[in-house]
Structure 1
Amino acid sequence: MNSWFKKAILVSSIACMAAFSHQVFAQENHAPAIDKVEKVLGLEVSSVADAPVDGLLQVITNRGLFYISQDGKYFMQARIFNLDEDMRNETEEALGEIRNEGLKKFENDAIVFKAKDEKYVVNVFTDITCGYCRRLHSQIAEYNDLGITVRYLAFPRGGMQSQSFEDMVSVWCAKDPLEAMTTAKSGDAVKPAKCENPVAEQYEFGQLVGVTGTPNIILPDGSLIGGYQPAPMLLQSLKQI
């Protein structure tokens, strides 16, 4: 092993150690604020970082993204806009990164209605009982014809103790999940089924990334459209990315 290569490995190792040390320091340095979020509000903090506004921390919890003052006194749910960058939504930018990273976990766990001539892929948080979810699904062929692949993620609006949750588990566990999804969204009963499934994890992930209802559509850049969009309108949104 030549000296240059040894030096490169050493530099890389030091950089990794420094990054890890910085992360640990950040967690320890902000421990009082994190502790208050978890103990007072009952939230689970998964990560903490400096917010775009001086004096604020950005915390990612099991219930979404929030901001807290560094002393832990003030807690807020807000959107931060950057006036110097054409009103860029800094909060949405952060959430977009979290959404796209989190979607990787469900790469093989969505119910996918794939376009033959695929141009775009969207992830749609859905509930089988919601009217606009049913309207979207009734036009699934139109989305596919426009080159839009639709990947369904579960978001039972009634929560994990609801009948909708149990029915969505049955859809994901059906021998033919695509057929079961269409049956359920037609208002017909789904044959009960049980298996290892991602419904609860997808529901929790939706809450984490700002989903509050259905349908909610995640575009390829990580941005979120709250609500139903007809196929031509969704196509225009995708073309503008």
Structure 2
Amino acid sequence: MILCPKMHIPRTSMQNQKITGALVAIAAAVSFMFAPLAQAEDSLAEVRATIEKALTPIIPSDDGIGEVKKTGMAGIYEVELKGSGQTVYFSADGKYMLAGSLYQLTSDRLVNLTEQKKNKQRKQLLADVQGISYPAVGEQKAEIKVFTDITCPYCRKLHAEIPALNKAGVKVTYLAFPRAGIGSRAYTDLVSIYCAKDPQQAMNKAKKQQSFKRDLTCDDQPVDAHYSLVQKLGVTGTPAIAMADGTLIPGYRPAAAILAQMGL
């Protein structure tokens, strides 16, 4: 079972310095390791064929690779894995793979290129996804989509912040993430909520740990579809807040912090 995330603990400046130093060292090591491979750039078609050949004995054919792109680092290619939607990095000869974030070091900061791509993917995947919505009061200025589980205490805490978000012009849409999995009690309860005559009222009762009508089903329930998005989006717990630009915020945040991040 995936647990509710712990509350965010800010890093100290000393911790941030250590992390920055480590990332710079890693970037230098990676550049050195792949330097011989960067002498001659292969065509994307050749690189793709080489990587596919290397992966075929390791992963199922249905989970093959998607898009292959050059990165800003010579000799290293960005590869999307179809099954998980994960972005990884390969050498042109297919012998080396890096799993994690690729950072660009600018004159004054570190830019997480991997997360930038994930944000674009999340934005596209969530664009037309519908759920249980709490509309903005007055003019809508923004929308957030929140993966939630009615068994999660931090989700209940975030639910109490919805009126403040709505009052500030933010529409909140709930997407289902039964952390115990398909077929669990949490799953059937979430299906019942989305299939209720008044889904918002049923969700409110569940969040307040009040009784609501259970064991309801309907052909158009979205819980399965929401659950299938979880892995593609990189969601690992609840609540998980997706901003309009695809940025994913894990864990509980008070309304004031969410509004500040959106510039409202």
Q: Do the structures match in fold with TM over 0.5?
A: yes
Q: Deviations over 1:163-210 (max 9, x none)?
A: 212211111111111111111112234422111222122122121111
1:82 corresponds in structure 2 to 104
Shift of the 31–189 alpha-carbon distance from structure 1 to 2, 3 Å rule, reads farther
- Find the aligned partners of 1:128 and 1:39 in 2 and give their Cα distance: 41
Where does residue 80 of structure 2 map in the other structure?
59
Name the residue aligned to 1:33: 51
- The yes-or-no answer on 1:209 pairing with 2:233 is yes
CA distance in 1, matches of 2:262, 2:252: 14
Query: 1:112 — aligned with what?
Result: 133
Q: Is the 8 A contact 2:143 2:170 kept in 1?
A: yes
User: Structure 1 27/48 Cα, relative in aligned 2: closer, same or farther at 3 Å?
Assistant: farther
Residue number in structure 2 paired with 1:136: 158
Query: Does the C-alpha gap of structure 1 residues 148 and 46 become closer, same or farther in structure 2, counting only changes over 3 Å?
Result: farther
TM-superposed CA distance for 1:145, in Å, is 1.3
Take 2:217 and 2:145, find their aligned partners in 1: how far apart are those partners? 24
How far apart, in 2, do the equivalents of 1:67 and 1:55 lie?
Answer: 10
Q: Where does residue 21 of structure 1 map in the other structure?
A: none
Look up the equivalent residue of 1:56 and give its one-letter code: Y
Structure 1 Cα separation of the partners of residues 84 and 235 of structure 2: 10
Matched residue, 2:114: 91
**Cα–Cα, structure 1 residues 177 and 223, in superposed 2: closer, same or farther, change >3 Å?**
same
**Which residue, 114, 123, 128 being the options, matches 1:100?**
123
Percentage of pairs with the same residue:
35
Structure 2: gaps (5+ residues): 1-42
Normalising by the residue count of structure 2, what TM-score does the alignment of the two structures yield? 0.72
Is contact 2:44-2:69 (8 Å) kept? no
Structure 1 residue 49: Cα displacement = 2.3
Check conservation: 2:132, 2:200, Cα contact below 8 A: yes
| Range moving further from structure 2, 64-73 or 219-228 | 64-73
2:258 aligns with: 234
* Structure 2 letter corresponding to 1:218: A
Report the structure, 1 or 2, having the larger helix content: 1
Cα pair 1:61 1:208 within 8 Å, conserved: no
Q: How far apart in 2 are the matches of 1:126 and 1:219?
A: 15
Give 1:32 shift: 5.0
Q: Per-residue displacement from partner, 1:51-82 (whole Å, max 9, x unpaired)?
A: 52432332143434231424443344301111
Relative distance call for 1:126 and 1:34 in structure 2 (3 A) is farther
| Count of residues in Structure 1 that have an aligned counterpart in Structure 2 | 214
| Aligned counterpart, 1:44 | 63
SS in structure 1 opposite 2:86?
strand
CA–CA distance in structure 1, aligned partners of residues 84 and 58 of structure 2: 14
Q: Which amino acid aligns with 2:101?
A: R
Bigger mean CA deviation after superposition, 58-67 or 166-175: 58-67
> Contact 2:63 / 2:82 at 8 angstroms: preserved in 1?
yes
Per-residue deviation, 1:39? 5.6
- In the superposition, the TM-score normalised over structure 1's length comes to 0.78
